[in-house]
Each structure stands twice: as C-alpha cells, then as structure tokens.
Chain A
Amino acid sequence: MSLDLPGFADPVADAHATFRAVLDALAHPGRVQLAGTGLRPPAPLMPATAALLLTLVDVETPLWLAPDFWPAREWIVFHTGASPIDDPARAAFAVAATLSDFEGFSAGTDEAPETSATPIVQIAGFGVGQRLRLSGPGVRGSATLHADGLPPDFPALWAANHALYPRGVDLVLVAGEALVALPRSVRVERA
C-alpha cells in the first residue's frame, strides 16, 4: 500500500522550497535545481516529481498520469486531493516517463496561452546523454543541457512546441532529486 508513505515532513516550508526551486529553474532554463530531498514517494515517482505534485497540484488542477504511474495514484490522491483524469488534453499537469510528443497535451489558446499543460517527465539523468544548446529568456547567450532519456528527435519536437509561442507546453524534466525546466519561450538545438 503506497498510502503508508508520508508526504512532506513540513508542508509549508517544503512546498515553499520546491516552488522556489522550480521557479528558479523556469527562470533559468537549463539550470539544475534540487527538490524533494528526503522524500520517499511510492515507485515509480522520483522524489522531485513527488515534491512538485505536493507543491503545485490540488483539487483545482486536472492531473493526467501515464499508465506507468498508476501504482502511485492512491498516494497522489491522498496527499494532494487531485483526482487524475483520463484525457491528457484537459490536463493542467501531467506525469510521464517517456515523452514522444506534446500533441496530447493542451498548448493553451491564443487569448489564454497560460491554460496550457505542464508535463513533468522523468528521465534517466542530467550531465550525461544528449547535449542540447538552450537560448532565450533567462539564458545569457546560450546554455548547455545534458539530458539522458529524452527521445533522439527531441530538438525537433521542441521546435514544434516553441513555434506555437506564446502558446505551448512548459516542460519539467526530473531525474531523482534533480529537476530542469524548459519554458515554451526557450529555443533548443542539438549542441
């Protein structure tokens, strides 16, 4: 039973620390931040994914879970109050382990681009794997991101998402306790 596992030890301070980590990560695309240190969520949730859910998701946010994450469903529902939905197109937040394309998620509308989804995708790790060059708001010149576990055609997928700007999804990549955020405003190229 995943329900035996606790959430944040200190809900107010831990949610704040996680929010500041993801805020800083979004404001500085490519910068690795830590979240969920000490958290022991049920598999297959990684600590940073669990921390993000506890911080941002509640009864007001439609949440979509990839089938791999259904074992953690009870824990998420108990600790956040969110009820997972079946239709990814209506999701405000989504959790997945692979990212083939963004088409299933809402990119928002021209008048309300902020209604787009924020997928949280768990990958193998940072510092190894695909080398990506990032540029745009929050980046001085260009930054390099090494991410292991993204699809090989990720730069092309992201280019299609970025082309929708100001519509588009904002992506949070998680590996263990580390997270990197890619806002729709950032350009991603193969480095």
Chain B
Amino acid sequence: MTEGYNFAYLDEQTKRMIRRALLKAVAIPGHQIPFGSREMPLPYGWGTGGIQVTAAVLGASDVLKVIDQGADDTTNAVSIRRFFAKTAGVRTTTHTAEATVIQTRHRIPERQLRDDQIIVYQVPMPEPLAKLEPSRTETRKMHALADYGAMYVKLYEDITRFGHVSISYDYPVMVNNRHLMSPSPIPAFDNPKLHMSAALQLFGAGREKRVYAIPPLTPVNSLDFEDHPFRATRAPHSCGLCGSDTSYLDEVVTDDRGGRLFCCSDTDYCEGRRQSATAE
C-alpha cells in the first residue's frame, strides 16, 4: 500500500458523504440520489462513479474483482484493480466466487452472486428518461409522479417500427414496482439477473453525480407488454473456447478474411469451464 493517501484514496469526509447517499439509495430502491462527485485521478467515463462507490464500501479484508465488459484483463479493469491494490492494499482476484466486492463496467458475471457479495456498476447516464426528456427538472418530476408513460410509448413505437423492442443494452427496468431505472449499459441478456439477486447492487455515475441501488431480493422487471414479453437474447452460437451455449458471447474478428470467433464475454466463467473440462 502506497503511503501518502488515506485508505482507498478518498478522504473520510468524502466517504461519509457517499456512505450517507448509499444508505438512502438502499432504502429507496432504484431512486437516483445526488452526491458530491469528486475529481478522481482518471477521466470521467472511465468509471469514476463506480470507483468512488467502491472506495466508500471497500475495507481492508475485502477481496476486489474488477471487470470491463466481462473481462478481467482489459485496460480499464486492470488499472482500477491496480488503483485499489495501491491505495487500499486490498487483495484482488479475477475469480467471481472469491470476490467480496465486484466493480463492473457493463456486465453481470455469469456465476450467480451470493448474499455476502456487493456488485458496483459504473454508470455513464443514470437517468433512464434522458433520451426522451432532456430536462433534469422535468425527469425529477416524472419520477416523483411515477409518470413513465413516455417510456412505454417509446417501446410501443419500437414494436410498430421493427416488430420488437430494439433496445439491446441499457434496457429500462422497473425496480420494486415503483422506480424506473437504468441498469447501466449491461446487455438486456443480463437484466433477468438483476431480479431478486442475492447480492447488494450499487450504481455510481461520476460525471452525472448520482448513486442508486438495488437491495438484495428486490423485484426488478424489464419493461414490456403482455403481448410482447421481454426476451433476453444472445448470439445464436456456442462459445468457441469453452463450448457454453448459455453464456453471453462476444464476437471477435480473427483475421482479414471474414473469420469470426464467438466466445464468452465473462473471461473468468470461460476459463473456469475450460479448466474443469481439462481436469476431467
């Protein structure tokens, strides 16, 4: 652990402010709460909201995992993991099962999360209504009145135009049957994992200065219509590395002659499956 910083980089006054916001966030599932987002030693858009939430939650005995689109080995994930190893001295891991705190950008691990785990999402745009109503003052009123008709109209227009809802990521959800919430840009495939999750889910948006939360065992429903139920989709292939036909897949270009590889986006899940296959 590097000298000259407070534990986990943020000063205690800032942590207290974020912690108070997080407690209120847990008490009002899905409701966005403003907080005094600090300047962090990396640019907005690189997960400053998630990092501040993680810093407020993290303790010396925690084990931290950071993923970026499911992968533990991408620049963003590696640098955030290194940041906390340096400023908090915590143990880090790439194994979902070993982690107590998981910071994620745009994926939920394939392995089911437990009661003793906390997952922290990096959120670029916390306001689910932002594309329909640019004014913050208006969207706050819409949330206060639970006036979400505009979002249903958007979904309806999608169905009339394309025959289905054309949102493949950041698919809006209704939390605890009251608050419309952006699940962050996770694929719609991951939405069902938000529902009644055993783990506490915290969301941090640094640039937009908002935190929100889904407590464990909370109903989270993806918006849909009775005659057009929500359907989670994935590429119709099996993983080229581990053979999984249930996990979420990335499409990787392998050469300049049209070669393609579909493989698991969750690298830890994929490695685990390949290891147990070799062991047999």
Contact = CB atoms under 8 A, between A and B. Distances in A.
A138 B218 contact: yes
Contacts of B7: 12-13, 16
Interface string A55-75: 110101100000000000000
A129 interface: no
Contacts of A139: 217
Contacts of A60: 17
A28 B57 contact: no
Nearest to B19: A19
Nearest to B213: A27
B178 interface: yes
> Interface centre among B6, B12, B28, B216, by most A CB within 10 Å?
B28
Nearest to B30: A166
Contacts, number: 99
B217 A140 contact: yes
Contact of B27 (A11, A28, A183): A183
Interface stretch (A33-41, A42-50, A97-105, A108-116): A108-116
B21 A15 contact: no
A55 B6 contact: no
A12 B7 CA distance: 7
A77 interface: no
A55 B216 contact: no
B12 A137 contact: no
B179 A166 contact: yes
A185 interface: yes
Interface of A: 11-13, 15-17, 19-20, 22-24, 26-28, 55-56, 58, 60-61, 92, 109-114, 116, 118, 137-140, 165-166, 170, 183-185
19 contacts: A15-B15, A19-B56, A23-B26, A26-B26, A27-B216, A55-B19, A56-B19, A110-B144, A110-B145, A111-B143, A114-B25, A116-B24, A138-B216, A138-B217, A166-B28, A170-B23, A170-B27, A184-B28, A185-B29
Interface of B: 6-7, 12-13, 15-17, 19-29, 31, 33, 56-60, 140-141, 143-145, 176, 178-179, 200, 215-219
Given A26-B27, A137-B215, A183-B27, 6 more contacts: A15-B16, A26-B26, A27-B216, A28-B215, A137-B176, A138-B218
